[in-house]
Chains A and B, each alone.
Chain A
Amino acid sequence: MTLSRIAPYLQATPLTAILAAFLVLPIATIVMVSFWDYDSIQIFPAFVFTNYEESLTSPVTWSTYLNTLKYTVIVWAVTLLIGFWVAYYLAFHIRSATMQMVLFLVCTIPFLTSNIIRMISWIPFLGRNGLLNQTLMTMGLIDRPLEFLLFSDFAVVLAMVHLYTLFMVTPIFNTLMRIDRALIEAARDAGANGFQILTNVIIPLAKPGIAIGSIFVVTLVMGDFITVRFMSGGQSASVGLMMANQIALLQYPAAAANAVILLVLVLLLVGAILRIVNIRKEL
């Protein structure tokens, strides 16, 4: 009897140990180092607030955070719109379970391939001499190549939507599949039209999935730096990119202070989403 009593503890130990060593400890280190001091060669233990002070009093930081929030809001809205309708189509319009599975896998497979390659693959499409510009010029819609397509905010948002929409599709699809079809029948019998069924039955029941998808997308975009660096061609800033640059300059305490601020902001956003929607029954 004792063995079965301690079994769950033994089984949970590897996960606990790995998360303690590679999640808790590193974040504790970040918090610690954010109070350290540094010069151009090295970092050294101290207890100073200068890293936070410099970061929070600099207008560059504020505009960088604003820019990151701008990306977050736009990408969130677009992925939610696309993700909901894709999930809705798969859940309610595809009638055979096999077809549902196949189409869902078609959406999932790109997610399992390299993000960097998926970003690179926009270059021949959006570039100055890219497919889109060539097509538009052949069709006579424009007479000069559009410059804003690649290396711009537009490109950043497009690539993020491309990379992250699946994180919206999967949880929403999951909740939609669990909706009891009898509820929809009942609404229809009670005289509701398609739009009323959508807004009064389906969307309220899909809220937990929408919340989980939103948490994924918001945290991914808030911490992103590679998409911003690559797709904006170094012309736009994000918090992650600012940290990556500080890391490259070996200003670890400054990067750590920014990391702490970013983490607090992300947790506040996640907390706000969880206050609006209760996702507990989803897990």
Chain B
Amino acid sequence: MNSERRGPGFYVLTAFFVLFVLFLYGPMTTIFILSFQGPNGGLTFPMNGVSLRWFENLLFEQQAVGDFGGAFSRSLMLGIMTMLTTVVVSLLAGLAFRRRFLGAGPLFYLAIASLIVPSILISLGIGLAFNVFGLEPAWYSSGFGAHLTWTLPFGLLIMFAVFNRFNPAYEEAARDLGATPWQTFAHVVLPIILPSLIGVGLFGFTLSYDEFARTLMTSGSFNTLPLEIYGMTTNVTTPVLYALGTVTTVFSMAVILLALAVIAVLRKRRARRLAG
């Protein structure tokens, strides 16, 4: 196919794809630029000078409403908790689904249901359940559970994709050489699927860190970052809102790029080891 000449369809679709990427990134770029708005600038163009005023305002000054630092640390903690749990639980479930077991079908459909039940239902349901049982909702209990209902199905689907492509000959070879099941897992299976596990972790962290609807009724008395940002949109009319948008987006991007870099390094090391 490589020798073929590019038809007109290729150029039309390339233009379409470029427009799509512009559509995805354009608005984000706008608020990135506007967050450097001068001290007297407003929420729209033109730029009234260039300054770091709004970042200073965001990071070092007391806001009239909200608590950016507290919300950020809560979201970070919740994201890490969700990430670790998602990796461990989806890996275990992925291993379970490699064999037949009673109830495998219903469990699979339950996981899919978790993906398609609207977020606000999960939020309302968990909020009500805590209410009925007389428990106090908090971001680290009800909020944590609400996030897991969103991240676990993704993690499980990724594990399915991984184990569908996994060659069992590696495990058989290890067993033939006398490895115990645990050794087979730790020295053969785990290193091979490690890059995918980092992918699962990345999904777990970012989906939790950005989740809004599922946190709405489950976070208890303290806000997570997306709730805080939403609160700000109704009260704040200065570019500090954009500064917050830029800071959190840069943070998300840094996490994503870090994870991708780790995956790339692991792949390269494995390729080198296989070659050498």
Binding site for B on A (CB under 8 A): 4, 7-9, 11-12, 14-16, 18-19, 21-27, 29-30, 32-33, 82, 85-86, 88-90, 93, 95, 103, 105-107, 109-110, 112-118, 120-125, 127, 129-131, 134, 162, 165, 181, 194, 215-216, 219-220, 222-226, 230, 240, 243-244, 247, 252, 255-256, 259, 262-263, 266, 270, 283
A19 touches B245 (CB 8 A): no
Given contacts A14-B89, A93-B10, A116-B229, contact A27 B121 (CB under 8 A): yes
Contact for A116 among B113, B146, B160, B230, CB less than 8 A: B230
The 29 listed contacts between A and B (C-beta, < 8 Å) are: A8-B97, A8-B98, A8-B100, A12-B92, A15-B89, A15-B152, A18-B152, A19-B111, A26-B129, A30-B124, A88-B13, A89-B14, A110-B24, A113-B252, A116-B210, A116-B212, A121-B27, A121-B30, A123-B43, A124-B30, A124-B44, A162-B23, A162-B27, A219-B118, A220-B118, A223-B117, A223-B118, A247-B217, A283-B160
B152 partner residues in chain A, CB cutoff 8 A = 15, 18-19
* A12–B96 touching, CB < 8 Å: yes
Provide the bound-state CA to CA distance between A27 and B125, in Å.
Answer: 6
**A103→B10 CA distance, assembly (Å):** 15
Q: Is the CB of A109 within 8 A of B256?
A: yes
Quick check: is B101 within 8 A (CB to CB) of the other chain? yes
A110 and B256 CA atoms in complex are apart in Å by 10
The interface residues of chain A lying within 8 Å CB-to-CB of B104 are 8, 12
Output the residue of B217, B230, B260 with the most chain A CB within 10 A.
B230
A11 to B128, Cβ gap below 8 A?
no
Query: Are the C-beta atoms of A244 and B120 separated by less than 8 Å?
Result: yes
Residue pair A14, B253 in contact (C-beta under 8 Å): no
Known: A89-B17, A121-B245, A131-B45. A18 touches B125 (CB 8 A): no
Which B73-95 residues have a C-beta within 8 angstroms of A?
A: 88-90, 92-93, 95
A130 CA to B45 CA, complexed, in Å: 7
On chain B, the residues within 8 Å of A7 by CB distance are 96, 99
Asked whether A262 lies within 8 Å of B121 as measured between CB atoms, the reply is: yes
Q: Would B24 and A162 count as touching, CB distance under 8 A? A: yes
Q: How many residues of B contact A (CB 8 A)?
A: 90
- In the complex, the answer to whether A8 meets B30 with C-beta atoms within 8 Å is no
Asked if A9 and B249 make an inter-chain contact with CB atoms under 8 angstroms apart, the answer reads no
B149 engages A23 (CB within 8 Å): yes
How long is the Cα–Cα vector from A194 to B10 in the complex, in angstroms? 12
- Chain B residue with the shortest CB-CB distance to A29: B129
**Of B115, B128, B253, which one neighbours A256 at CB under 8 angstroms?**
B128
Which residues from chain A contact B17 at a C-beta distance below 8 Å?
86, 89-90, 103
Chain B residue contacts of A262, Cβ below 8 A? 118, 121
A residues near B40, Cβ cutoff 8 Å: none
The smallest beta-carbon distance between B115 and chain A, in angstroms, is 8
* In contact, A22 and B31 (Cβ under 8 angstroms): no
The reply to whether B95 and A194 contact each other, CB–CB distance below 8 Å, is no
CB-based contact A106/B113 at 8 Å: no
- Chain B residue with Cβ nearest A135: B45
- Tell me if A33 and B156 are in contact (CB < 8 A): no
**How distant is A225 from chain B, measured CB to nearest CB, in Å?**
6
Chain A: minimal CB distance from B111 (Å): 7
Contact A19/B114 with A114-B210, A120-B233, A129-B44 known, Cβ cut-off 8 Å: yes
